[in-house]
């Protein structure tokens, strides 16, 4: 039995290992983040939650993972 | 003849009755933020975006849990952007998050004074306006920059009174006066407003609104302070609308003074 | 937690909820004066005494016809007095007229600036206090004089912000701050308050009340302006009570700024 | 028949002729002033309206005759 | 057409070329005081009187050892006096010591702000003038008091800019302007002058001289600082004499601007 | 220990002893301009370029006839330029005229306030620096813009105190302070300096030089006024170099106060 | 005999007629301007006096003709 | 032999014992003060140095003993 293939992606500027073809919401959950509260930029483009739900991650992808916070 | 403002503030395609915009930073709880927003009667509140920390529970949950979004237009800012490109990316992220296509554009690379970069701000404004954003740029009190941002299609200009969070009030009155005189869009005075008298002064100069954050958020009673700022802002706006008197070099008596008891 | 002042202002043996005292000079009609007094929510208004012109109808009828004396304490001033003796005589005349045994003591011989005479004011205050008057002296912003008047038994001190009717606001902030810090009686800032922001600044310095006349009386809409001053005065008083923040030399961010989108 | 005796008094700093022993309210009315609206200082002492009503003027008396007016 | 003042300052029966009076307090040595006095070109320096400590060697020897009394009029002050009577006694002691019959009259009972007492100051001035003293009273910037002191025969009035030693400059500009406008004797601005620009501002308002102490005495280089204050004081006096321009609300070009390179 | 500045001001590849730069506009004759320049001791004076009127004798002959070009660096300005391109063309014309390859870069399209355009100024600065000009840009007191101009290679930054010719002094002190704190090139305060005290204040804030024009040129005695500004500017620079004291909230006695004559 | 050929040029934004091939200094003198005091931009390029002396004007040329003046 | 008679005087507000009929300069020297640098108020009246030299102190006398110091 072979191990599931993994990929290296960059999340918020840091390297992270993830299962290949994992969807963005699944990935966020592996990071203990609630996809409903998170906004994602994928390879430099902002994604709505609907768009993000349809993205499956590949090796070398870059993610910005942000949330709304208090601010002036 | 009525104490509530009877002319609305028009920004972009929206109308506002309140002339006090609230920043949501620095409150010590979501509850106190919510209470202050409510007490202020505001119709627009700012939020920021921040990289999520992986595998770490954020203490402050989701800000939207505490904002009554049916009451307020939620205005994302671009704080943290070091240049035009980053600001544009943040604005797009906020739109993707489902917020209105509005943005408080702020680009202030210097961490000590948080003063805005005029060059990057104009560059970002041009891009964002073209993409259909309603752009409210935070700027130094520079009248020529203010005109260029208006020419570029910005919905307001937001000149600073003094550095963010400094509570020093309107140190830039002379130039804000010029900005207001020349403005074709609403002028919102932002930053440094640390006391009701500062908000009042801005409105008396002819500003259309003020944005207040620190002075309310860190007050011992944010709710009461929000109420005080709201009352002052609108009363001073009303006074400006009615028309304030000119200053004079000498006195002008309020009582009859002549030939009284001179015997 | 409530927007109306919840501590009363105590002057002499009376308590007041309103912290805005109105001068009645310069209104263009008795009706507009009455409307402004009402709209302001004031509880104390000043009047003056004037030699009656013989065989000449006075145009303005009797001021008391227009003052709702059940609503307000009517405070006679001594405007026109050139020295202590004349001020004392005016105060006694006001008492004889049936007004409360209170007096706004003002002695300002110079007709250009109407600045008060410290020597005559103290002399008159000593006499009037001894005769049982509640004395509210109008003074320059002189902290030592303020203390001496308190020692003499005055019920307040009323330092000026700038010359009467000049609309220049609080030019004496540094010394008013000292007067307030040292005061054992209420401090009422009087004269020069030409805009709501001025009234707000006085209250934020810690004043107990302000007296406003010209800015309301000559406004195009005295009633609306009275309301604006009242709202500002009380909101700023509330803000001072809650506690305003300190000023800082640098900025202090209201949004998270670190490591955002730096790639 | 002799004319009624008159007196010289000083009113608000100016000499005025009046009938001898005229009461203050009567005198005020001769000056077209309403005693109910006027306050009187008689020979340097302020008088209530009741007191003033009882005063009859004599030669050389000094009156200050004032009213309440608007003032700041 | 000459850079040195060409009109003398007349106080009492003496004429002075220098418009900078020096206080001698707070220098860290007699030598540095002497050097600063010399460098300043001053012609009048103040000294104080102090109870001698019995059986204790005073560290600072005798101040007159360090003052070139042929160069300067030595002006004793009454610092420490709590009331008129003490001030008068101090003035008489100074005269008995052989100093000129001049006195800088200062009565400031409050130890925090050292602000002068107008009542006691006038009382002492009246006595001292009657005894033949040339009286230079230190006062708050109260124009009516200034007039009364002139009426009493004082040789100058010395209104304060801000509290003694505070370095805060001319916080009382509006009232000093009035004092100068009405003065019949030289006006010397005293106290709070902490930088050359403050001295310059005083002279531009029309003051006849300034008194500086702390800013020079505690400077790292008192001699250089004395020179800087002297140069600024006299240059600003000269500028005032020549006539400074009015301020304007708009700009006024210094270069030709029209139709240039517009193609 | 010497009254003349003992550290030189380095701009570009040149050193200057004088810290007062003179504008040559508005003098009423070439002779009075020459006399003022000489009296000021300046080492740098500005000139402008202007379209020649065809077939019309210019009244003022050639400005260079009145400038002793061996004494001063003649600094052409770009007044009249509406944008970066025009400013660059003017700078090149000045160079072609044989002036030093230096330029006071000023682009102020608004005729009422003559406030500089930050965007065009940076654009022109980048081009001119690349072409080898020593660029001294006139700017609003915007610290971020000042940094960007330094990054672009400008030899100084010249923030304004208040609008050109307004005589209003340093209304932008807070932001000029930041510019100076962050500067890596000399900071020259330009515009609005209407009195010696304004020049002194700029130097005390830490400026390296000031540029003065209107206040000297339109004075009744330009030569005397030039001398007054020069003396003040250098004295205040010296005072700043020596080190001025901090301000304090309370007083600090200059005479011994304790236990004197208390009996 | 034919008249000397003339050209239309633009000087300081206005049309001016001049003899063909006239040198810049000559042209300036026809305009009562002293070439030693004038700086010229020719077709958008600033010219030193030496350079200007060598230029002969042609139809359609654009000149900016400026001088140094007092300025702040 | 009896001791020299002494007196109680008040100097700068404090009680001091001194020999009867001592002159002011002598008294100052007993206090280690230089009479040439000191100014004296004797029973409420300022004294020049010449006057002070002639004063001999008696029981109950009040002295203020001051010097010139630096002051602003």
The Cα B261–Cα H44 span in angstroms is 44
Q: Where are the beta strands (DSSP E) in G20-61?
A: 38-42, 45-47
pLDDT at H15: 94
Q: Considering only residues 209 to 228 of chain B, which have any Cβ-Cβ distance to chain A shorter than 8 Å? A: 211, 213-214, 217
Q: Does residue C211 come out as left (phi exceeding 0), alpha (psi in the -120 to 50 range) or beta? A: beta
| Closest by Cα among D48, D51, D38, D50 to D12 | D38
User: pLDDT for B140-185, tens place per residue?
Assistant: 999 999 999 999 999 999 999 999 989 999 999 999 999 999 999 9
Range of C203-207, E1-5, E254-258 with top mean pLDDT: C203-207
Q: Are E114 and E79 within 8 A, CB to CB?
A: no
- Tell me whether E5 touches chain F (CB under 8 Å): no
pLDDT, mean of residues B212-240: 97
Set of chain C residues whose Cβ sits within 8 Å of the Cβ of E145: 117-119, 140
Three-state SS across F166-197? Answer: CCCCCCCHHHHHHHHHHCCCCEEEECCCCCHH
Interface of D with B (CB under 8 A): 13, 62, 64, 69-72
CA distance F69 to chain E (A): 19
The Cα F20–Cα B227 span in angstroms is 51
pLDDT, mean of residues D23-43: 92
- The enclosing H or E element of C178 equals helix C173-182
Q: Are E116 and E88 within 8 A, CB to CB?
A: no
Pick the more confident residue, B61 or E97: E97
User: pLDDT for F154-210, tens place per residue?
Assistant: 999 999 999 998 999 999 999 999 999 999 999 999 999 999 999 999 999 999 999
User: pLDDT for F140-153, tens place per residue?
Assistant: 999 999 999 999 99
Q: State yes or no: is F57 an active-site residue.
A: no
Mean pLDDT of chain B: 92
Interface of A with B (CB under 8 A): 11-12, 16, 31-33, 37-41, 44-49, 51, 64-72
Question: If you count residue pairs, one on C and one on D, with CB atoms under 8 Å apart, how many are there?
Answer: 106
Question: Model-level pTM?
Answer: 0.91
Residue in B closest to D14 by C-alpha: B263
pLDDT at E68: 83
Set of chain F residues whose Cβ sits within 8 Å of the Cβ of H42: none
Contact E/H (≥3 CB pairs under 8 Å): yes
pLDDT at B255: 84
**Predicted confidence band of residue B2 (pLDDT cuts 50, 70, 90):** very low
Q: Are E145 and E118 within 8 A, CB to CB?
A: yes
* Alpha-carbon distance values, E152 to B65, B176, D60, E83 (Å): 73, 48, 36, 18
3-state SS assignment for residue A51: helix
Can you tell me the ipTM of this complex? 0.90
pLDDT at B260: 56
Instruction: Indicate the residue of F25, F57, F99 with minimum beta-carbon distance to G71.
Output: F25
Instruction: Indicate the residue of F58, F60, F92 with minimum beta-carbon distance to G46.
Output: F92
3-state SS assignment for residue B89: helix
CA distance H71 to chain F (A): 4
| Closest by Cα among G52, G30, G28, G29 to G42 | G52
CA distance E225 to chain C (A): 27
Which of F26, F50, F57, F104 is flagged as catalytic? F104
CA D15 to chain centre: 12
Give the burial string for C146-164 (b: 16+ CB within 10 Å, else e).
Answer: bbbbbebebbbbbbbbbbb
The Cα E32–Cα E46 span in angstroms is 15
CA distance C162 to chain E (A): 8
pLDDT at E67: 87
CA dihedral F133, F134, F139, F142 (to 10 degrees): 110
**Predicted confidence band of residue E61 (pLDDT cuts 50, 70, 90):** low
| Closest by Cα among E185, E195, E210, E200 to E238 | E200
pLDDT at E6: 57
Lowest mean pLDDT among C59-68, E13-22, E163-172, H43-52: C59-68
Set of chain E residues whose Cβ sits within 8 Å of the Cβ of G70: 255
Q: Which residues contact B33 (CB under 8 A, 6 or more apart)?
A: A70, B24, B27, B66, B67, B217, B222
Instruction: Indicate the residue of D12, D39, D44 with minimum beta-carbon distance to C97.
Output: D39
Give the pair of three-digit tokens for residue B90: 């943040």
The Cα H27–Cα H19 span in angstroms is 8
At C61, give phi and psi (nearest 5°): 45, -150
**Are C142 and E115 in contact (CB < 8 Å)?**
yes
Pick the more confident residue, E257 or A64: A64
pLDDT at E58: 57
Q: Does residue F133 come out as left (phi exceeding 0), alpha (psi in the -120 to 50 range) or beta? A: beta
**Predicted confidence band of residue F6 (pLDDT cuts 50, 70, 90):** low
CA distance G59 to chain E (A): 18
Q: Which residues contact C178 (CB under 8 A, 6 or more apart)?
A: C143, E113, E115
The Cα B40–Cα B231 span in angstroms is 8
Give the pair of three-digit tokens for residue G39: 């700086």
The Cα C202–Cα C210 span in angstroms is 7
The Cα B163–Cα B159 span in angstroms is 11
Q: Where are the beta strands (DSSP E) in chain E?
A: 9-11, 14-16, 20-23, 44-51, 73-76, 102-105, 134-139, 158-159, 188-190, 209-212
Set of chain G residues whose Cβ sits within 8 Å of the Cβ of F79: 71-72
| Closest by Cα among B122, B62, B74 to B101 | B74
Instruction: Indicate the residue of E115, E165, E235 with minimum beta-carbon distance to F252.
Output: E165
Question: If you count residue pairs, one on E and one on H, with CB atoms under 8 Å apart, how many are there?
Answer: 105
DSSP code at position F65: G
pLDDT at C57: 63
The Cα G62–Cα E124 span in angstroms is 82
The Cα C123–Cα C126 span in angstroms is 5
**Predicted confidence band of residue F1 (pLDDT cuts 50, 70, 90):** very low
User: pLDDT for E62-97, tens place per residue?
Assistant: 788 888 888 899 999 999 999 999 999 999 999 999
Set of chain D residues whose Cβ sits within 8 Å of the Cβ of C213: 72
Which of E26, E57, E104, E123 is flagged as catalytic? E104
Which of B26, B104, B123, B130 is flagged as catalytic? B104
pLDDT at E56: 65
């Amino acid at each position: 039995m072979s191990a599931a293939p993994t990929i290296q992606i960059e999340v918020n500027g840091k390297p992270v290992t993830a299962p290949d073809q994992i969807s963005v919401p699944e990935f966020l959950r592996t990071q203990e983040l609630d996809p409903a509260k998170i906004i994602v930029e994928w390879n430099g483009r902002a994604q709505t939650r609907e768009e993000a739900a349809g993205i499956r991650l590949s090796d070398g992808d870059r993610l910005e993972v942000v949330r709304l916070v208090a601010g002036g | 003849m009525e104490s509530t403002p009877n002319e609305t503030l028009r920004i972009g395609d929206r109308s506002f009755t309140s002339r006090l915009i609230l920043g949501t930073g620095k409150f010590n709880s979501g509850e106190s933020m919510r209470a202050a927003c409510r007490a202020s009667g505001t119709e627009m509140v700012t939020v920021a975006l921040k990289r999520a920390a992986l595998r770490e529970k954020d203490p402050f949950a989701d800000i939207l849990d505490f904002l009554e979004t049916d009451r307020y237009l939620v205005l994302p800012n671009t704080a943290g952007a070091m240049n035009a490109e980053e600001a544009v990316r943040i604005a797009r992220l906020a739109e993707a998050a489902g917020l209105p296509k509005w943005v408080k554009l702020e680009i202030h690379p210097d961490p000590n004074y948080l003063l805005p970069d005029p060059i990057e701000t104009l560059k970002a404004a041009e891009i964002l306006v073209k993409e259909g954003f309603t752009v409210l740029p935070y700027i130094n009190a520079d009248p020529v920059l203010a005109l260029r941002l208006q020419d570029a299609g910005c919905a307001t200009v937001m000149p600073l009174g003094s550095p963010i969070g400094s509570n020093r009030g309107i140190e830039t009155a002379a130039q804000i006066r010029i900005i207001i005189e020349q403005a074709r869009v609403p002028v919102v005075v932002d930053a440094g407003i640390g006391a009701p008298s500062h908000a009042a002064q801005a409105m008396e100069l002819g500003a259309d609104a003020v944005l207040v954050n620190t002075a309310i958020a860190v007050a011992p009673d944010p709710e009461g302070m929000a109420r005080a700022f709201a009352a002052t802002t609108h009363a001073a706006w009303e006074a400006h609308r009615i028309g304030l008197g000119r200053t004079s070099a000498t006195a002008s008596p309020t009582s009859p003074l002549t030939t009284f008891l001179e015997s």
